[in-house]
Amino acid sequence: MAADNTMSNGEETASLNGEPAVKRSRENEGTETLRNPREPQNKVTVVLGAQWGDEGKGKVVDLLAMDADIVCRCQGGNNAGHTVVVDGVEYDFHLLPSGVLNKKSVSFIGNGVVIHLPGLFEEAEKNSQKGPGLQGWEERLKISDRAHIVFNFHQAVDGIQEQQRQQQVGKNLGTTKKGIGPAYSSKAARNGLRVCDLVSDFSVFEEKFRVLASHFQTMYPNLNIDVESELEQLKGYAERLRPLVTDGVFFMHKALTGPSKKILVEGANAALLDIDFGTYPFVTSSNCTVGGVCTGLGVPPCHIGRVYGVVKAYTTRVGVGAFPTEQDNDIGDLLQSRGREFGVTTGRRRRCGWLDLVLVRYAHMVNGFSAIALTKLDILDTLSEIKVGVAYTVDGKPLDSFPSNMDVLTKVVVTYETLTGWCCSTEGARNFDDLPPHAQAYIRFIEDFLQVPVKWVGVGKSRESMIKLL
């Protein structure tokens, strides 16, 4: 016999496996909004790299940041490099969100970011000398009190570790040597120091700093750390930092639940460099896929709105690691020279190859892109024939998905689709109809393969060179 879930006083009980769970009163209609919450008013728009980085995220963020109220960085450190060109001035950002150029918006560095303070202030000073874009940057930058600090000895350890890898196995990871990995290691080992420690009681911070420095000196006997000099430097930075520091969780909560705001999140690095989903071990030390937005900013998943993947019209990679569509030939040299493919952070020459849609489709599986920004299409202007990677095989057998094992990835044979090039300049195009028919066909081929719409197409370095399709 079914249990009667109606009580004599007019209350209902919700049951689970026949057991009473919650009493609900029909008379208390005021709680209905709690049981049936409205859709969140403010959602964050996310811009993420869909390859191995260097896709041109900074330009897309700069475009969207023009009318954003808040622009956020959620992970990574000054190992990331974003270039933005405004009014003919080229700005290079590593820690500062690209949106800092918008004087009407607030830039926020979340708790998932690891911050090298000398790098932060040097970056701001160098860019301020280039043009007026950064004028008043300190008045519109907020930094989470929970963000971890990268110390000078973290950077030194990064270099030592790379040297050891080279000596031991003949292959390093190709890190930027900016101390990001060692800083995240300290964070995971629970002996790292955060911004809130630095701007609080400095004597307590100093004691913890000495312990951490001693820990690394024990691990690396040849490591030279000038403890006194770095502490003096950090004491000075603490004073400059203090006005910028805020409770990051409360800051984001107010932004998400308060009056209507446009909130933009700028990812660093890219999907194939994600610590969990990337081409491990040749990855960065943080989650640069969409999950990093939640953990790196304190954003509940229900507040994630549109997720835009930035895809370069070909593929590049800095450093070592498997690269199935790499062209170590004249084609690769042409892409490298025309695209000026040098790392913003390290100046290293980027390896270049054909667009790999197997890789981008995998990035879409992880991130769920709402749409794509296709950048640097103009670099392909001189090619009469363009290839696109559409499938992988190993030992003659097709792979259903992107392999997790890097030994397997190095063995894949790529199946290419060959498309006709357009052999004319696209740099002057300002709408889709201005593009040559074969360039339009290239874009539609990407959309059809990924089943994701292309929202923007980049044909140059400036803001004006981003063609909007949707």
170-195 per-position pLDDT tens digit = 666 777 789 999 999 999 999 999 99
pLDDT for the residue 346: 67
Question: Taking a C-beta distance cutoff of 8 angstroms, is the pair 292, 75 a contact?
Answer: yes
pLDDT for the residue 175: 78
When mean pLDDT is compared across 58-62, 208-212, 352-356, 399-403, the lowest value belongs to: 58-62
The answer to whether the predicted template modeling score (pTM) of the entire model surpasses 0.95 is: no
Q: Is 347 labelled a binding residue?
A: yes
Q: Residue 202: which CATH number?
A: 1.10.300.10
Alpha carbon distance 465, 470 (integer Å): 15
Indicate whether 186 belongs to any domain: yes
Active-site residue identified among 154, 187, 312, 455:
187
pLDDT of 6 strictly over 50: no
User: How many domains are contained in the chain?
Assistant: 1
Q: Is 83 labelled a binding residue?
A: yes
Indicate whether 164 belongs to any domain: yes
pLDDT of 88 strictly over 90: no
pLDDT of 345 strictly over 80: no
Indicate whether 93 belongs to any domain: no
- Residue 8: other Cβ atoms inside 10 A: 5
pLDDT of 66 strictly over 80: yes
- Which is it for strands 44-49 and 263-266: parallel, antiparallel or unpaired? parallel
- Closest residue by Cα to residue 149 from 203, 105, 95, 98: 95
pLDDT for the residue 30: 55
Q: Is 349 labelled a binding residue?
A: yes
Mean pLDDT for 285-290 is 96
Indicate whether 200 belongs to any domain: yes
Indicate whether 160 belongs to any domain: yes
Which stretches within 172-304 are classed as H helix? Answer: 180-189, 195-198, 202-219, 227-241, 248-257, 291-297
pLDDT for the residue 202: 97
pLDDT of 119 strictly over 90: yes
pLDDT for the residue 470: 87
Q: Is 81 labelled a binding residue?
A: yes
9-65 per-position pLDDT tens digit = 444 444 445 555 555 554 555 566 567 667 778 999 999 999 999 999 988 988 899
Q: Is 345 labelled a binding residue?
A: yes
54 assigned to active site? yes
**End-to-end Cα separation, the chain, in angstroms:** 58
pLDDT of 169 strictly over 80: no
Angle, helix 227-241 to helix 202-219, in steps of 10 degrees = 140
Active-site residue identified among 82, 94, 154, 303:
82
Paired tokens of 364: 């879409």
Q: Between vectors from CA 336 to CA 63 and to CA 177, what angle results, nearest 5°?
A: 80
Q: Peptide bond before 97: cis, by omega within 30 degrees of 0?
A: no
Indicate whether 441 belongs to any domain: no
Alpha carbon distance 201, 224 (integer Å): 26
Q: What percent of the chain shows pLDDT beyond 90?
A: 74
Residue 296, helix vs strand vs coil: helix
pLDDT of 116 strictly over 50: yes
Mean pLDDT for 191-201 is 97
Mean pLDDT for 81-107 is 86
- Residue 161: other Cβ atoms inside 10 A: 18
Q: Is 222 labelled a binding residue?
A: no
- Count, in order, helices (H) and strands (E) of the chain: 14, 22
Indicate whether 219 belongs to any domain: yes
When mean pLDDT is compared across 9-23, 122-136, 292-306, 386-400, the lowest value belongs to: 9-23
**What is the span of the domain harbouring residue 194?**
148-242
Mean pLDDT for 246-251 is 98
Q: Which residue has the tokens 């609900």?
A: 24
pLDDT for the residue 359: 98
Question: Taking a C-beta distance cutoff of 8 angstroms, is the pair 145, 195 a contact?
Answer: yes
pLDDT of 5 strictly over 60: no
Indicate whether 166 belongs to any domain: yes
When mean pLDDT is compared across 24-33, 44-53, 378-387, 461-470, the lowest value belongs to: 24-33
Q: Is 58 labelled a binding residue?
A: yes
Question: Taking a C-beta distance cutoff of 8 angstroms, is the pair 183, 164 a contact?
Answer: no
Q: Is 54 labelled a binding residue?
A: yes
